[in-house]
Amino acid sequence: MPHGVHRIQARTYRPDPALYANAKRAVDAVDSTMNDHLVAFLRWLTHETDELPARPDRTLFADSQ
């Protein structure tokens, strides 16, 4: 596939920067990616699956509460 051409159209969301930073820490902690987690959550939300994506222990965020 040529550079810049993608099979699926990109979607844009604009989370709060602090929320995004924490989410990035969370997906890194469970050896995942933001895209994989968002897709898994959307599949759960639309009842394609009953399994939520992995979530790190809450102690990861103890300093940001």
Task: Please report, for the chain, the start and end positions of each structural domain, with discontinuous segments joined by +.
Answer: 12-51
The pLDDT of residue 41 is: 96
d(CA 37, CA 23): 10
pTM (predicted TM-score): 0.77
Q: Does residue 49 contact residue 22 with C-beta atoms inside 8 Å?
A: no
Q: Which residues in 21-47 are b (16+ Cβ under 10 Å) and which e?
A: eeeeebbeeeeeeeeebeebeeeeeee
The pLDDT of residue 2 is: 63
d(CA 62, CA 56): 12
pLDDT digit string (tens) for 6-43? Answer: 888 888 889 999 999 999 999 999 999 999 999 999 99
